[in-house]
Amino acid sequence: MSLAFSDTISHLSDRHFRTIAGLVEEQVGIRLPAAKRLMLEGRLLKRVRALNYSDVNEYVEHLFDAKHFEAELIHLIDCVTTNKTDFFREPSHFSFIKDIAVPEILRRRGRGSTRPLKIWSAACSTGMEAYTVAMVLDDMIFAGASFQFSVLGTDISTSVLHLAETGIYTSEMIAPVPVEFVRRYFLSSRNPGRDEVRVVPRLRRCTNFMRMNLMEDTYPVDRDVDIIFCRNVLIYFDKPTQQKVVEQLCSHLRPGGYFIVGHSESMINNEAMPMVQLQPTIFKV
């Protein structure tokens, strides 16, 4: 019985696949070529089952019902967005901000400045990148540096933002975190049967999260950000969308601010971008 049920709900019609692919590209800039069809069908199954529809095509019809569209669109986006992330992913970037970017920003500001350093993790997923930045900056203060900071994480997926806001992760998730940082920045669960840790309150207080779509015409973010991470998301956009998003993000950087992309995006053409390239994945406005 379960096999028959799985067969009936797992195949999008050509028309519905084109409809969903067009909607996703319009809403979040992610292109879904035909090769992604099976992936899309698989990800939609949880919504089909949650809403008790008989098949995935019935779900698509439901999605475009005017009464349901706005609320269900959030769930659809959660289904189709890729949320791969890790603590200390691409560690050279965190070495750069610790050894080069932050010291240079502090020198430029001069002594006596009380303005907090602002770092923005765009497409932050489950918050691991944002909390990694917070740990690195707090460790600099622990070692004697004098500054304040705030970290903003934004993402379009509500489900990953919920996890980010709680700051609760499994031991497996924090495996890349240095041992001394685990001791300093994570609390073990009071329940010994739960394999969970939680980011310490002081890091959670200086790390905030907000839902935001990079495809929006304006971003509700300060325009004096010092460092923006936008890693491993631009590769899902076509070239015109990449250009638009990068220009929009860089308009929120202070003069001399840094823009960091993922190593998979190092090939992105930066000739028309509003910045200079310092390293394959690091730029300065």
Q: CA 55, 163, 121, 181: dihedral to nearest 10 degrees?
A: -140
> For the residues 193-211, what does the mean pLDDT come to?
94
Q: How many residues does the chain have?
A: 285
Whether CATH 3.40.50.1000 fits 2-80: no
Domain ranges of the chain: 2-80, 92-284
- 144 sits in the region (left: phi over 0; alpha: psi -120 to 50; else beta) called left
**Do 130 and 121 touch, CB atoms closer than 8 A?**
yes
- Quote the pTM value: 0.82
56-63 and 14-28 helices cross at what angle (nearest 10)?
Answer: 50
Judged on CB neighbours under 10 Å (0-12, 13-18, 19+), 85 is buried
Number of H helices, E strands in the chain: 12, 10
pLDDT tens-digit series, residues 119-149:
999 999 999 999 999 999 999 999 999 999 9
Active site residues: 43, 155
pLDDT tens-digit series, residues 223-277:
999 999 999 888 888 888 888 999 999 999 999 999 999 987 765 655 666 788 9
CA–centroid distance for 184 within its chain: 24
DSSP lists the bridge partners of residue 284 as: 258, 276
What proportion of the chain, given as a percentage, has pLDDT over 70? 93
> For the residues 190-218, what does the mean pLDDT come to?
92
pLDDT tens-digit series, residues 30-84:
888 888 888 888 888 888 888 888 888 888 888 887 677 888 888 888 887 766 7
How is domain 92-284 classified at the CATH fold level?
A: Rossmann fold (3.40.50)
